């Protein structure tokens, strides 16, 4: 688990900087560097799942209400979901707004 400390001391690194815990990528919140986020408008969404499949981070999932949303801890703001949605139900919004 030492490696999962995001700022380890040199003496805390694992041998050869190996990762000993499976699934450790979860601890790295790649969403930190996002400058804009996808926002859904469910009105026209046909729940086709295209955005879910195309998201390169695999961070879009159908929610309890049947509509997809992104997990913003991992969404890097690439906008591919916006590009691929056949009903233009997703739009990018500046993080500063």
Residue 28 binds ligand SF4 (CB under 6 A) = no
Residue 30 binds ligand SF4 (CB under 6 A) = no
Query: Exactly one of 35, 49, 61, 93 binds ligand SF4 (CB under 6 A); which one?
Result: 49
Instruction: Show Cβ contacts of residue 77 under 8 Å, excluding neighbours closer than 6 positions.
Output: 31, 34, 35, 36, 37, 38, 92, 95
Q: How far is the CB of 18 from ligand SF4 (least distance, A)?
A: 28
Location of structure tokens 């500063």: 96
Residue 39 binds ligand SF4 (CB under 6 A) = no
Q: What is the DSSP letter of 14?
A: P
* 91 φ, ψ (degrees, to nearest 5): -135, 150
Q: Which residues bind ligand SF4 (CB under 6 A)?
A: 38, 40, 45-51, 55, 57, 59-60, 68, 70, 75-81, 85-87, 89-90
């Amino acid at each position: 688990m030492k490696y999962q400390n995001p700022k380890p001391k040199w003496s805390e690194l694992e041998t050869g900087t190996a990762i000993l815990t499976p699934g450790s990528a979860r601890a790295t919140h790649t969403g930190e560097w996002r400058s804009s986020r996808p926002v859904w408008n469910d009105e026209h969404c046909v729940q086709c799942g295209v955005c879910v499949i195309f998201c390169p981070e695999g961070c879009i999932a159908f929610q309890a209400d049947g509509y997809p949303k992104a997990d913003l801890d991992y969404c890097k703001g690439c906008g591919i979901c916006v590009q691929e949605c056949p009903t233009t139900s997703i739009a990018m919004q500046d993080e500063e707004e």
